[in-house]
Structure 1
Amino acid sequence: MKVVPEVKRPYQSTLRGAQAQSTREAVIDASARLFVEKGYAATSIEEIAAAAGVSRATVFTSVGGKAKLLKTALDVAIVGDDAPIALPDRPRSKSIRAEPDPRKYLALYAELVTEIDARLAGIHEAVRGAAGVDPDARTLWESHLAQHRQGAANVISDLTRKGGIRKDLDPESAADIVWLLGPGVYHMLVNRRGWSPERFQAWLTETFISQLLPAEPVRSRRAAPIVRGSRARAASRRRLSN
């Protein structure tokens, strides 16, 4: 009797892939939430598994150990999803870079930063705290800071191509300003001080523009025309007659 090999149906593979991705997302979400709420050191794999509704083994097979979970949670917070596409390569970033006007460019960039920081600020602080107690977390923190600084330098390069930054500001100092105004500032002003995201975005836009770009020239009011000769005498007589 000839044995016919079983042919896997495409929809079965697709379904399994979707289920695996759903499980992975649940684990990432649970780990990010617990790292923010409890801290990295105080969070166990068992707690993450329980929060995600999976087994301990599934946490490892779907994502990895605690260090991998922390890195993945940070990466997802930055870009907004688990797709392997870097932030500069995403359509939103490309659209912002295509804006030729420096002020509009910074306004669009501030809008994007505000949206990212709303997701990122909590896990950013969790990674900062973990860096003090775990060598892997320290490595992640240093890498995160370096990537953020490089992103800031890229913004200044964009501005230079679009017309330039203030003449009294060197590119390195300008990049430091952009780097400074990141998720840590959002955390302090929005999460701690109670600013609304809208207020933060407006402030960030104005701060970027005022700190990085040359001041716009002040338009003087047009002077009133000077009336001379017979026209002046006629105007004077009219005033006297009134």
Structure 2
Amino acid sequence: MAEVKADRRRYRSPVREEAALRTRRAVVTAAAELFAERGYTASSLREVADAAGVARPTVAAAFGSKPALLRQVVDEALAGDDGPVSVADRPWFAPVWQAEQPSAVLAAYAEVCTLIGRRAAWIFEVVHRAAADSSEIGELWTTLVRNRRLGAQMVLRRARETGPLRPDLAEGHAVDALWVLNDPALYGSLVRDRGWSEDQYRRWLAAQMQAAVLPAAPGR
């Protein structure tokens, strides 16, 4: 008689997967609130678990470590959700690629930076403050700074594809200028601390970016 082999294929339960997703979302939300209120260092995984209404081992099983949880909070703040899509491929970044003049590219990028500032200025501050206390968080901060510069480089390349930039400005300096201006800390200082409206900030940022890397208009 032929041996009947057990089906060892992994069974997937949509109900269980949905429950796990809700748990992850609850943990990320709780962590974001605690990190914003108390800072990263002063917030424990136990407190995050309590705030999320789950057991501490559940948090560890879902994210592995506190630094990994912080990275998830950062990623979701930057992207707006937990989907595996890069910032440059998000629909709200599309106007940068669709613009047909350098000034329009930079205006669209100022809009992107305003959106990111609204969502992520606070978590950049959290990471920056914690960077000195942990090598892992220090590496995360270094990555965030490096990625901002790579983003500036990408946008500058797109602007150059659509028209001339300042001929007297070396490419590295042009990238540096956009890198300084795309810092979410500027949003935090001007919008959150000084009370600028987002529209005022966006228009100011676009003007600064355009002045930094575009040729002066005739007659100026």
Correspondence for 2:174:
174
Aligned mates of 2:95, 2:104 — CA distance in 1:
12
Displacement after TM superposition at 1:124 (Å): 0.2
Aligned mates of 1:104, 1:97 — CA distance in 2:
10
Displacement after TM superposition at 1:18 (Å): 1.9
Aligned mates of 1:203, 1:95 — CA distance in 2:
18
Aligned mates of 2:164, 2:61 — CA distance in 1:
49
Contact 1:27 1:63 in 2 (8 A): no
Whether 1:143 and 2:155 are equivalent positions in the alignment is no
SS at match of 2:81: coil
Whether 1:190 and 2:197 are equivalent positions in the alignment is no
- Report 1:92-241 matches (<5 A): 92-181=92-181, 182-218=183-219
Correspondence for 1:15:
15
Displacement after TM superposition at 1:218 (Å): 4.3
**Counterpart code for 1:155:** V
Higher mean alpha-carbon deviation, 182-191 vs 84-93, is at 84-93
Q: TM-score, with normalisation over the residues of structure 2? A: 0.90
Correspondence for 1:25:
25
Aligned mates of 2:40, 2:113 — CA distance in 1:
25
Displacement after TM superposition at 1:95 (Å): 4.0
Correspondence for 2:89:
89
**Counterpart code for 1:193:** R
Q: Unaligned 5+ residue runs, structure 2?
A: none
SS at match of 1:206: helix
Aligned mates of 2:198, 2:173 — CA distance in 1:
26
Aligned mates of 1:123, 1:64 — CA distance in 2:
20
Q: TM-score, with normalisation over the residues of structure 1? A: 0.82
- Report 1:18-97 matches (<5 A): 18-97=18-97
Aligned mates of 2:133, 2:90 — CA distance in 1:
34
**Counterpart code for 2:111:** E
State percent identity of aligned pairs. 39
Aligned mates of 1:92, 1:195 — CA distance in 2:
22
Contact 1:36 1:125 in 2 (8 A): no
1:68-111 CA-partner distances (Å, limit 9, x unpaired): 01111111111111111111122332442122121122111111
Q: Unaligned 5+ residue runs, structure 1?
A: 220-242
Query: Which structure has the larger Rg over C-alpha atoms?
Result: 1
Aligned mates of 1:134, 1:123 — CA distance in 2:
16
How many aligned residue pairs are there?
216
